[in-house]
Amino acid sequence: MQQNVSLVFWGYRKNSVRFAAGSNYCLHRSIIGADCALLQEQNHPPSRIMPQQAIRDILQLSPSAQTLSVSGWVRTFRSNRFIALNDGSCLDNLQCVVDFEAFDPEFLKRITTSACIRATGTLTASQGKGQSVELAVTNLEVLGDSNPEEYPLQPKKHSLEFLREIAHLRMRTNTFGAVMRVRHHAAFAVHRFFNEQGFFYLNTPIVTASDAEGAGELFRVTTLPAQNAPTNDAGEVDFTKDFFGKSTNLTVSGQLEGELGAMALGKIYTFGPTFRAENSNTARHLAEFWMIEPEMAFYDLHANMDLAEAFTKSIIAYVLERCPEDLAFLDQRLAEEEQQKPKEQRSEQGLLDKLRFVLENPFVRLTYTEAVEILQRSKPNQKKQFQYPVEGWGIDLQSEHERYLVEKHFKAPVILYDYPANIKAFYMRLNEDGKTVRAMDVLFPGIGEIIGGSQREERHDVLVEKMKAVGIEPDHLAWYLDTRKFGTCVHAGFGMGFERMVQFITGMGNIRDVIPFPRTPGNAEF
């Protein structure tokens, strides 16, 4: 069987066969794989994309007589002469200098804020302040007009609340451009770290029949009609008639499936979207967010903590190296924001100081029991300044407690471990005392918990009893229990909410501002 498709190979050499642009070649399946059909280029010329240089790279060049072409969006156009052009590659704009006498005045009226243009010219030494080079424009094209009367982003400061209302445009601002570039580099740092540590990237299901947390805050996935859905003899919705033959939902975690991968591949990690139908309109919660979840065979709790510390530090170090300008801008933005707060509410550290603080300090490790004792003796608790008083062992620690330990008491990142079993998930390894589990939480300044994890319960009989105790029918997770029947071993893992990490790195106060298109209760725009 043959299939005709359009292929363009620009000077590519493979298996001693030369593929060139504009030529017809029939590629035999032996070259590109036994499962591929024969491929042949159709008789039409390939499209050519004009070579472009990113503004990020142009700003690093020295003045020369070389002709350059650059495309982007107009930030400002002053005096019919100076165009501030940005293409999203970096925070800085490229100043493009126009000889207005060489262009039709009616044409120049189209150079408005947000218009998309292509400028061609030579790179010269800048006569003004703020940049070392500028583009002396010889040719100007308007690729896309923008009506200045309708464009909502003007050259002034806008509130974050207003920008959330126009999230489809807010990435054109300095703040959100910087945040999204940092987010990209942080995501790359995640994959880089795990790849270098010998982990395998595992894609766990987004649609699942399990609820890893047992919380019940699930988005149901169904093809059954909203009205008059089929029912069983008990009058309940008959999910056997549904697409998957059972009740399914969007995943809250890839952990359980990740453990299956670890029991075969040794060390895996997931990095994908997760969903919580939690009706929580706070600055810390999203209905759709991204989770990073490594699972490791042969790791105990302490090896798990070692990995979590190394992992978080590697992300911060990479972003500090790759995003100095964006972080400096965000540091200044946060400093200005802090000045608007009452003195007692201001952070003691700037953004860059906070990042270096985490990077340079070893993480303090202490048990939950030790933490409760410290909190009970603390001044805020003695003076009843905590919103949630620390009354004794067994309470679920709140963000204010976690931040006190990090920011006031230890002045260092903290890892708490050995939590009460009754406030943690069923899959966590029960300690010999029968009261605590080998859970751990990593706490950061300004944000509280950023990682939660544990050594997993590897004993089949203990795990079954714990599942029954929280109302989970073991038969529903038989596939999960099989890992405890067929070659079980000590293993551990943790989860990091990626947006929480980006929030920490960027200093943004609201988690909705570190994801391109936030999904929250009552909000599914864009």
User: Quick check: 61 pLDDT over 90?
Assistant: yes
More confident residue, 124 or 211: 124
Name the more confident of 2 and 29. Answer: 2
Mean pLDDT of 140-148: 96
Provide the pairing of β-strand 448-455 with 491-497.
antiparallel
At 28 the pLDDT is 37
Sequence ranges of the domains in the chain: 2-40, 55-144, 176-217+252-513
pLDDT at 224: 95
Q: Is the pLDDT of residue 10 over 60?
A: no
Band (pLDDT 50/70/90 cuts) for residue 155 is confident
Which whole number is the average pLDDT over 155-180?
Answer: 93
- Decide if 375 contacts 381 (C-beta within 8 A): yes
Q: Give the pLDDT confidence score for residue 525 in this predicted structure.
A: 86
Residue among 320, 209, 302, 355 nearest 494 (CA): 302
Q: What is the pLDDT, as a whole number, of residue 70?
A: 96
Residue 46 gets which letter from DSSP? P
Q: pLDDT: is 82 or 19 the higher one?
A: 82
- Rounded to an integer, the average pLDDT of 482-509 is 97
Is 90 exceeded by the pLDDT of residue 138? yes
What's the pLDDT tens digit per position in 87-122? 999 999 999 999 999 999 999 999 999 999 999 999
Higher confidence at residue 447 or residue 118? 118
Answer for the pair 62, 54: CB distance below 8 angstroms, yes or no: no
pLDDT in tens, 339-395: 988 887 788 889 999 999 999 999 999 999 999 999 999 999 999 999 999 999 999
CA angle 475, 481, 483 (to 5 degrees): 150
pLDDT band at 81 (very low <50, low <70, confident <90, very high): very high
Least confident of 49-53, 240-244, 250-254, 382-386: 49-53
Residue 45 pLDDT more than 70?
Answer: no
For residue 520, give the DSSP letter: B
| 236 CB burial (10 A radius; 0-12, 13-18, 19+) | exposed
Which residues are registered as beta bridge partners of 207? 250
pLDDT at 251 over 90: yes
Alpha helices of 197-300 — where are they, by DSSP H? 255-265
Mean pLDDT across 5-15: 37
Sequential DSSP letters for 291-326: EEEEEEET--HHHHHHHHHHHHHHHHHHHHHH-HHH
Average pLDDT across the chain, whole number: 89
**Residues 274-300 pLDDT 10s:** 999 988 888 888 999 999 999 999 999
Position with higher pLDDT, 466 vs 21 = 466
**Using CA atoms in the order 473, 474, 475, 477, what is the torsion angle rounded to 10 degrees?**
100
Q: pLDDT-derived band of residue 65, with 50, 70 and 90 as boundaries?
A: confident
pLDDT of residue 44: 47
**What local confidence, expressed as pLDDT, does residue 51 receive?**
57
pLDDT at residue number 315? 98
Q: What pLDDT shows up at residue 8? A: 37
The CATH code of domain 55-144 reads 2.40.50.140
Q: What are the φ/ψ torsions at residue 2 (nearest 5 degrees)?
A: -115, 150
**Of 461, 494, 421, 465, residue with least CA distance to 262:** 494
Q: What pLDDT is recorded for position 403?
A: 92
Q: Is the pLDDT of residue 47 over 70?
A: no
Question: Which CATH class name applies to 176-217+252-513?
Answer: alpha beta
Higher pLDDT, 26 or 494: 494
